[in-house]
Amino acid sequence: MYLDALLPPVALKEVPALARAAESLGFDALWSSETVHDPFLPGVAIAEHTSRLKFGTAIAVAFARSPASIAYTAWDLAQASSGRFVLGLGTQVKGHIERRFGMPWPASPVKQLREQIGVMRALWRTWQSEEPLNYRGEYYKVTLMSPFFNPGPIEHPEIPIYIAGVNRGLARLAGETAAGFVVHPFHSTRYLAEVVLPALEAGARSAGRTREDLSVFVTPFVASTPEERQFVRGQIAFYASTPSYRPVMAFHGWEDVSERLSSLAARKDWGEMPGLIREEMLEVFATLASPEELAGALKDRYAGLANRLALYLPFSPGDGGGFWETFLLGWRSGD
């Protein structure tokens, strides 16, 4: 299993030092997210200040951008890093697309994401081999690429695309067309094994592929202290209040709790929400262990389910408590 790290929401000027630290500590990849910063910009610094470390977006919001703009950015990052960039895409949810990004929510998110990926790959083929550009779908018609706007071929044109999701539709799409699937941190191992992976495998079969053709990347909730347990309770409560993620709670018979959380969120009673996450829920959705035992617990929990892992904690080397050093020592001791 590959061990990756999540870039914290820091200013761009802090990214080079964090990237160098991640590479020197032996992480396999460093991932940036779309929260308070653009997820692509850190990639420029990571590419420049490392030589081995892979990096990617986990995730970039696909429906906030045109597929052509994503294609250009990914092409540049792949070229700058000699092929170390991974394009992770997610759909987000309707409220954020419409009210945070001011973009339309599609009638079929799965179909539009499939077409976005199709457009990107059509552009990449045109740039790499001068194949005529002629993509025509329900959501996109992309047929114009004159030499002035063509960046031309690069050394590593096969850019891996990972799709993030919670439910079956996006998991199946990843199986059909992607290199990997980013499992939402709000999951259980049962939900992963009984819902997500079968959908991935069904999608793979429909495209003449196998499970081995796909990377499954998990970013699990973890907690080693009472403070971290309370933080994780808050995160679970936040995600469980979102209607799009309700199937995860329903799978475990806790849909009534989701409905109560949604009501609290609508009233902006954020402080009351973590109290609805009972201990049994915390144990289902998070890995609870001391720093010394956490690595072994994660390996046992995700054995046979995932092949990439990054803790749902911002990477902060030299945090004073020695957490990362202790965790990495435990991770390597089992190799």
For residues 47 and 78, is the Cβ–Cβ distance under 8 A? no
> Tokens for 326?
């202790």
Q: Note down the domain range covering 73.
A: 2-223+289-333
Shared domain for 60 and 140, answered yes or no, is: yes
152 with 277, same domain: the answer is no
Task: Report whether 67 contacts 142 (CB < 8 A).
Answer: yes
- Asked if 278 and 170 sit in the same domain, the reply is no
- CA–CA gap between residue 200 and residue 203 (Å, rounded): 5
The domain that holds 194 is classified in CATH as 3.20.20.30
Task: Identify the residue with better confidence: 123 or 335.
Answer: 123
Find the mean pLDDT for residues 257-281: 94
Query: Can you state the angle between helices 41-49 and 67-80, rounded to 10 degrees?
Result: 10
Give the pLDDT score at 322.
83
CA 251 to chain centre: 22
Residue ending a domain, choose from 251, 272, 288: 288
- Decide: 33 and 7 in contact? Cβ < 8 Å: yes
Q: Are residues 178 and 141 in the same domain?
A: yes
- 172 with 259, same domain: the answer is no
- 30 and 167 in a common domain: yes
* Res 116: pLDDT: 98
Is the dihedral angle over the CA atoms 294, 296, 301, 307 positive or is it negative? positive
How far apart are the C-alpha atoms of 53 and 184, rounded to whole Å? 23
Could you count the other beta carbons within 10 Å of the beta carbon of residue 10?
A: 17
Q: Tell me the pLDDT of the chain averaged across its residues.
A: 95
Contacts of 161 (CB under 8 A, 6+ apart): 86, 87, 88, 89, 117, 120, 177, 178, 179, 180
Do 11 and 146 have their domain in common? yes
Number of Cβ within 10 Å of residue 308's Cβ equals 25
Q: Where residue 191 falls among pLDDT bands split at 50, 70, 90?
A: very high
pLDDT digits (tens, 9 = 90+) for 9-53: 999 999 999 999 999 999 999 999 999 999 999 999 999 999 999
**Does one domain contain both 194 and 239?**
no
Helices (H) and strands (E) in the chain, counts: 14, 14
Pair 176, 103 in one domain: yes
- 65-90 pLDDT, tens digit per residue, is 999 999 999 999 999 999 999 999 99
Q: Which residue has the tokens 């030299």?
A: 318
Residue 314's pLDDT is 81
Quote the number of domains for the chain: 2
Distance (Å, whole) CA 297 – CA 117: 36
At 289-322, the pLDDT tens digits run: 999 999 999 999 999 999 999 999 888 887 656 8
pLDDT for res 8:
94
| Same-domain pairing of 157 and 246 | no
State the Cα–Cα distance between residues 58 and 232, nearest whole angstrom.
19
Please report where in the chains the tokens 């929510």 appear, as a residue: 105
| 302 and 261 in a common domain | no
Q: Which residues contact 230 (CB under 8 A, 6 or more apart)?
A: 274
Task: Give me the residue label for tokens 């992963």.
Answer: 192
Question: Do 170 and 146 contact (CB within 8 A), yes or no?
Answer: no
Q: Is there a single domain that holds both residue 279 and residue 164?
A: no
Q: Please report which residue ranges of the chain form alpha helices under DSSP H.
A: 15-25, 41-49, 67-80, 94-99, 109-129, 168-177, 189-191, 197-206, 226-240, 246-251, 255-266, 279-285, 291-302, 323-333
> pTM for the whole thing?
0.94
State pLDDT tens for residues 208-222: 999 999 999 999 999
77 neighbors 157 (Cβ within 8 angstroms):
no
Distances (CA, A) of 134 to 121, 128, 152, 170, 249: 11, 15, 17, 25, 43
Sorting pLDDT into bands at 50, 70 and 90, what band is 252?
Answer: very high
